[in-house]
Structure 1
Amino acid sequence: MQVMPAVQSLADRLAVRTGRHDLRSRWFGTGRTVMALAQLSVLLFAPVKALLVPVVGMGEYPKCDGVRAASALCLGGDTVGMEPRRWLLIVILAVVASGYRPRWTAIPHAWAAYSVAVSIAVPDGGESVGMIMALLMIPVGLADDRTWHWRRPEREARPSWRTLSFVAFLAMRVQIAYLYLDSAIAKFGVADWANGTAEYYFLRDSMFGVARPWDSFFLWLSKNSLIVVALTWGALVIEIAIGVCLLASERWRKAGMVMDVVLHGSIILTMGLWSFALVMIGSAIVCASPDRRRPVTGDPGAGGDEGALPESGVHCAECGAAVRVVTAV
């Protein structure tokens, strides 16, 4: 029967990938910090009245019914003012952005991201992405025992934590890739995107249009039909490319991250949307995180960081290949 060998082969490959997987790196720390700073900027630079402005047909904010009652902006009911709640979230996100104790701050980060996403009246989409990413990063954070997420790990993670982290990492990549692919494919059903004129109208939009000091330059560029078509369809091509790359190998994930920075950097330059752009850039950095080169076998509790210990090449007599091992010092 051919099914069992195939299943066994897949299991072996997953075991190897899980065995070398370790997101405790500066890549993951940088992406996490960028996302926290994006969420922090919403609370720091927008007054509470603007975030919780009443919406016609929706009533007052924050909504504290059902599961939304778990939001920090609903904490304490009417006995607690909105400013103390806001500053509680600011402190949490500031600690997360600093990189201190990922294991301790993973769940508070998810709570803060959830609070912002479900409670403010006029989210721009970045809040929801930040919330989903913060929830998916909980297993990765709990597996990270470093004091600061800028440091190299001092010992190997246990196999159970590596497995949970690996599954969460795959989920994050699939989620962000889906967002980009779905966004690009859906735009083909909109006439202005399909005919290549969408950027012309976006740049002139009264709310999200190009702002100073670049307005004159980009409005002048958009008078050229070829440039408008290139900008419009180019955005769709880049979105598709990012989605595909984030599902591929390490090298392609890094290429996807670079394209993501270019795409959202351009959006910041022309339209603003800082918090949304930074959340997406931070998510791409996390998804592009490479596997640390670490030994597949050995005592999970006794090893050291491969980047901190000398290595030596050993020839494997059974497999006929050279493998790397960590030499204890």
Structure 2
Amino acid sequence: MRLDTIVDDQATRLHRHLSRYSARTRWFGIGRSIICFAELTVVLLTPSNALLIPVLSITDGARCDGVRAVSAFCVGDQSSGGEYARWLLVAILLVAASGYRPRWTVIPQTWAVFSIASSISVPDGGESISLIMSMLMVPIALADGRKWHWTKAERPSSPTWHAVSFAAFWAIRLQLAYVYLDTAISKFGVSDWANGTAEYYFLRDNMFGVARPLDGIFLELSKNPVIVVGMTWGALVVELAIAACILSSGQWRKVGLGLDVMLHGMIILTMGLWSFGLVMIGSAVIASTPAVIAPTPALAEPCRGTVLAA
């Protein structure tokens, strides 16, 4: 097959995907709101003296070195111990979660998430993923002129912003698939995961173990070797399946979303990692956005032979 034919075929496929893609859907709105709500629970339900608690020699309050200096906890009046900054972040995340004017609220949202991820004393993986996803959402939201991200887009976006948001959408899918793929593969190198006993120990961990009222049920079930091996290896299989589904077609992405909700729903029920679980579910919702006929301007149909003509 000639090179120009291959290039034209790929350009045609890209044109077809672009013409059916639109991020300005309720899927994007729901996913974005879930992520914002997850971060909102962190700053709303946790006082600043707990968020910025000194941790040995690692930190003495908010971390403000280097680029962290632009964090909400590091600018302005510090006499309140971070309380003013915390309530400012609550307000920003509340507005972003409401879905109002995504084009104008996505930058403050990203700054708020950055402030949490970079300055609190003990951030977890949820904060890191939330920051990455918020940054990747910026091009999509900047192309979104809707008043509320719950409504249907009526006007077409410009071809440039349409293409940029499509690239950002693919970046979100690739990033999320990598997280699940890397998480699953890395666990095979840990003996407890490889031999199928990891869940037995996790359920009994003093900090992250199963909480009431389900502790009795899961602790009893985990005494059965077959069940505990199924729980341990089952989690790895589900993570690999989520990664594969996210990179597949629209119907398979929905399957991946279902698996993601099931996985993190169980983690929330057993370990109580609410904000982390919600961030991952919200990210999966955005990554699972189905192909729809977008109200976009007509994109020029690629013509055969244009490569040689150029």
Please report the TM-score for the alignment, with normalisation by the length of structure 1.
0.88
Compared CA separation, residues 149 and 159, structure 1 to 2 (3 A): same
CA distance in structure 1 between the aligned counterparts of 2:151 and 2:128, rounded to whole angstroms: 29
Q: Deviations over 1:55-103 (max 9, x none)?
A: 1121313111111111111111546651111111000000011000000
CA distance in structure 2 between the aligned counterparts of 1:197 and 1:99, rounded to whole angstroms: 43
How many percent of aligned residue pairs carry the same amino acid?
A: 57
CA distance in structure 1 between the aligned counterparts of 2:297 and 2:120, rounded to whole angstroms: 48
Deviation at 1:295, TM superposition (A): 6.4
- Higher mean C-alpha deviation, range 61-70 or range 241-250: 61-70
- Residue 177 of structure 2 corresponds to 177
One-letter identity of the residue aligned with 2:117: A
- Residue 145 of structure 1 corresponds to 145
CA distance in structure 2 between the aligned counterparts of 1:70 and 1:5, rounded to whole angstroms: 50
Whether the 8 Å contact between 1:31 and 1:282 is mirrored in structure 2 is yes
- Residue 220 of structure 1 corresponds to 220
- Residue 306 of structure 2 corresponds to none
CA distance in structure 2 between the aligned counterparts of 1:189 and 1:197, rounded to whole angstroms: 13
CA distance in structure 1 between the aligned counterparts of 2:84 and 2:295, rounded to whole angstroms: 47
One-letter identity of the residue aligned with 1:275: S
Deviation at 1:279, TM superposition (A): 0.1
- Residue 124 of structure 2 corresponds to 124
CA distance in structure 1 between the aligned counterparts of 2:51 and 2:106, rounded to whole angstroms: 24
Deviation at 1:2, TM superposition (A): 2.1
Deviation at 1:299, TM superposition (A): 8.9
One-letter identity of the residue aligned with 1:213: P
Q: Which runs of 5+ in 2 are unaligned?
A: 301-310
Compared CA separation, residues 157 and 229, structure 1 to 2 (3 A): same
Whether the 8 Å contact between 1:72 and 1:85 is mirrored in structure 2 is yes
Deviation at 1:297, TM superposition (A): 5.7
Q: Which runs of 5+ in 1 are unaligned?
A: 301-329
CA distance in structure 2 between the aligned counterparts of 1:294 and 1:112, rounded to whole angstroms: 31
Structure with bigger RCO (C-alpha 8 Å, 6+ apart): 2
- Residue 114 of structure 2 corresponds to 114
Whether the 8 Å contact between 2:180 and 2:242 is mirrored in structure 1 is yes
Deviation at 1:235, TM superposition (A): 0.2
Deviation at 1:18, TM superposition (A): 1.6
SS of the equivalent of 1:72 reads coil
One-letter identity of the residue aligned with 1:71: S
One-letter identity of the residue aligned with 2:116: V
Deviation at 1:20, TM superposition (A): 2.2
The count of aligned residue pairs is 300
CA distance in structure 1 between the aligned counterparts of 2:162 and 2:264, rounded to whole angstroms: 31
- Residue 188 of structure 2 corresponds to 188
Whether the 8 Å contact between 2:19 and 2:293 is mirrored in structure 1 is no
Deviation at 1:203, TM superposition (A): 0.2
CA distance in structure 2 between the aligned counterparts of 1:146 and 1:296, rounded to whole angstroms: 14
CA distance in structure 2 between the aligned counterparts of 1:168 and 1:278, rounded to whole angstroms: 21
RMSD: 1.6
Deviation at 1:127, TM superposition (A): 0.2
One-letter identity of the residue aligned with 2:109: H
1:202 and 2:202 aligned: yes
Deviation at 1:192, TM superposition (A): 0.2
Q: Deviations over 1:232-276 (max 9, x none)?
A: 000000000001100111111110000000000000000001000
Whether the 8 Å contact between 1:54 and 1:61 is mirrored in structure 2 is yes
Please report the TM-score for the alignment, with normalisation by the length of structure 2.
0.93
Deviation at 1:19, TM superposition (A): 2.4
